[in-house]
Structure 1
């Protein structure tokens, strides 16, 4: 996907999140189903922290510490920072050298992708907590999100020792896509001994723990291997 496309999606998600952050306190105090221990207010505090962190990184090109959210008023803090954050991301030169936690080349364009998907997933969380309908996500955006998890996050989880290396590979498949050549990814090395096949929305949400691939996916081959991989922390 192009930088402009990431920005357009990010702007759309931010607009909806800002609307949800203006809800009454009794709604902001509701739990977030996919984030145990968090209220909706705390979810907005997390987003406000992430946004300020990412903006500081792309402005300076170097790693900085993520700021802590305020103890109270986190939703208002998020609203206050949303417009400056989007302005910073809009001004980014995608090809500029910039620290990030993905594979080389390390450029600022990483953050456009990362923040678009960060906000998509947390918008879904906020909608669930608010009792609102989740946003419709396009096919190419969800394909890109699946690729980000399986080609960037999962190898990083292994590299950092958060996830065990797999002695045999598991393939992840999404059938019936309109995008040519898309729909197949592999975790682990060697010939795949198992496959996990699911519809695109189930795969996108399932990899982020927002639905259960163990319930929605078709598993072929070594089911034990596939289930072990699905139980691993594929994402942070």
Structure 2
């Protein structure tokens, strides 16, 4: 996806999140189903922290510490930060050298992708906590998100020893989409681990995107072939932080 596309998606998610952040206190005090221990207000505090952190990184190009959210009133704090955050993202030169936690080359464009998916997933969380229908991103965006998890986050989890390396490889297949630019419309594949795949996990795109982030129970909807125990161990990961 292009930098402009990431920015447009991010701007749309921010608009929706800002509307949800303006809800009454009794709604903001609700629990977030996918984030145990967090209220909706605390979810907005997390987003406000992430946004200020990412904006500072792309402005300076170097690592900075993430600021802590306020103990109360985090939704209002989030709203205050959305405009400068989006301004910082809009000013990104995608090819410019910039610290990030992805694989080399480390450029500022990483943050456009990462923040678009960060906000997409947390918009789903905020919608669920608010009792409103959670939006479903477009197919190309979700496919990009699956790739971010399996090609960027999961190798990082393995590298940092946050996840036990699988003894054999597991293939992940997405079916049921048609996105221009892929060699075989209707299917896309990734592999976790080395060597020939001893198991495979196949799921529709929406189930795969949400399931890899723990927002749906992928093992209940996926088709698992081969060594099922191995596939389930890899799914437990954790594939993401």
Q: Same fold (TM over 0.5)?
A: yes
* Whole-angstrom CA distance in 1 between matches of 2:70 and 2:233: 38
3-state SS of the aligned residue for 1:174? strand
* Whole-angstrom CA distance in 2 between matches of 1:211 and 1:157: 20
* Whole-angstrom CA distance in 2 between matches of 1:8 and 1:196: 31
Determine if the alignment matches structure 1 residue 74 to structure 2 residue 74.
Answer: yes
3-state SS of the aligned residue for 1:72? coil
Instruction: Report the counterpart of residue 216 of structure 2 in structure 1.
Output: 211
Instruction: Report the counterpart of residue 124 of structure 1 in structure 2.
Output: 124
Instruction: Report the counterpart of residue 55 of structure 2 in structure 1.
Output: 55
Instruction: Report the counterpart of residue 85 of structure 2 in structure 1.
Output: 85
**How many Å apart are 1:166 and its aligned residue?**
1.5
The within-5 A match list for 1:161-180 is 161-179=161-179, 180=182
* Whole-angstrom CA distance in 2 between matches of 1:28 and 1:16: 15
**How many Å apart are 1:134 and its aligned residue?**
1.0
**How many Å apart are 1:231 and its aligned residue?**
1.1
**How many Å apart are 1:135 and its aligned residue?**
1.3
* Whole-angstrom CA distance in 2 between matches of 1:111 and 1:194: 33
Instruction: Report the counterpart of residue 189 of structure 1 in structure 2.
Output: 194
Unaligned runs of 5+ in 2: none
**How many Å apart are 1:110 and its aligned residue?**
0.1
The within-5 A match list for 1:5-154 is 5-154=5-154
* Whole-angstrom CA distance in 1 between matches of 2:16 and 2:228: 39
Instruction: Report the counterpart of residue 3 of structure 2 in structure 1.
Output: 3
What RMSD over aligned residues (CA atoms) do the two structures have, in Å?
0.7
Normalising by structure 1, we get a TM-score of: 0.99
**How many Å apart are 1:167 and its aligned residue?**
2.0
* Whole-angstrom CA distance in 2 between matches of 1:4 and 1:22: 27
Q: After superposition, what is the alpha-carbon deviation per residue over 1:15-58, rounded to whole angstroms, capped at 9, x for unaligned?
A: 00000000000000000000000000000000000000000000
Do 2:176 and 2:205's aligned partners in 1 also have CA atoms closer than 8 Å? no
**How many Å apart are 1:177 and its aligned residue?**
2.2
Do 1:177 and 1:183's aligned partners in 2 also have CA atoms closer than 8 Å? no
* Whole-angstrom CA distance in 2 between matches of 1:109 and 1:135: 25
Q: After superposition, what is the alpha-carbon deviation per residue over 1:67-107, rounded to whole angstroms, capped at 9, x for unaligned?
A: 00001110000000001100110011000000000000000
Determine if the alignment matches structure 1 residue 223 to structure 2 residue 228.
Answer: yes
**How many Å apart are 1:123 and its aligned residue?**
0.2
Do 1:193 and 1:221's aligned partners in 2 also have CA atoms closer than 8 Å? yes
3-state SS of the aligned residue for 1:26? helix
3-state SS of the aligned residue for 1:198? strand
**How many Å apart are 1:136 and its aligned residue?**
2.6
Number of residue pairs the alignment of both structures matches? 236
Normalising by structure 2, we get a TM-score of: 0.97
Q: After superposition, what is the alpha-carbon deviation per residue over 1:97-142, rounded to whole angstroms, capped at 9, x for unaligned?
A: 0000000000000000000000000000000000011113111000
3-state SS of the aligned residue for 1:7? helix
